[in-house]
A = this chain, B = another copy of it.
Amino acid sequence: MANTIDARLKELGITIPEAPAPAANYVPFTTSGNLVFVAGQVPFVDGKLTKTGRVGEDASVEDGHEQARICAINLIAQVKVACGGDLDRVRRVVKLGGFVASAPDFTGQPAVVNGASDLMVDVFGDAGKHARFAVGANVLPLGCVVEIDGIFEID
C-alpha cells in the first residue's frame, strides 16, 4: 500500500523536481494543524520559465494549460517536502488559486487552470478534487503565464 502516489506518478511519467529553496523572507509552505499552505508557484522548469507573456496575446490556451500543469507539479514538489517525502500522506487537495496573465479580451481562464486541476486528479484521484478560483491578471512575476497557490490537507 505504501507509496501509492509515487507509483501513480511513475505511471504518469511525472517526475517531481526537488522543491526550490526559499528565495526571500517567505517560505515555500507553512503548516497549521493538518493544513499546508503552499506559496504561489510559477511554472519554473529547472529554475527557468519555458514561456512568458499573456494568454490571448503571446501564449495560447494550450500553452497556458501546460504552464498551469507545471505549476501543479511544483505545488506537489512543495507538499512532498511538507509530508516528509511521503505523498501518501496527502488527504485532500483543498484549494487552488489560479492567476492567469491574460490579454484584456481573453476570458478562458478556467480552461487554462484546468491544466493544474486535471493533474491533481490524475495524481491523487478523488482526493485531488479541489475548490479553486481562476482569474485574470494583467501581468505576473517575471512575465510568467500562470501562478497558482494551494492549500492541502495532510495526515
Would you list which residues of chain A between 131 and 153 have a CB under 8 Å from chain B?
A: 131-143, 147, 149, 151, 153
In whole angstroms, what is the CA distance A154 to B134 when docked?
Answer: 25
Number of copies: 3
Residues of A within 8 A of B (CB): 22-30, 32-35, 37-40, 92-97, 99, 101-110, 114, 117-118, 120-121, 128-143, 147, 149, 151, 153
Q: List 21 A-B contacts (CB under 8 A).
A: A25-B129, A28-B131, A30-B94, A30-B130, A32-B34, A32-B94, A32-B153, A40-B133, A40-B135, A99-B133, A99-B135, A104-B138, A105-B139, A106-B139, A107-B143, A108-B141, A109-B139, A133-B149, A136-B137, A136-B138, A136-B140
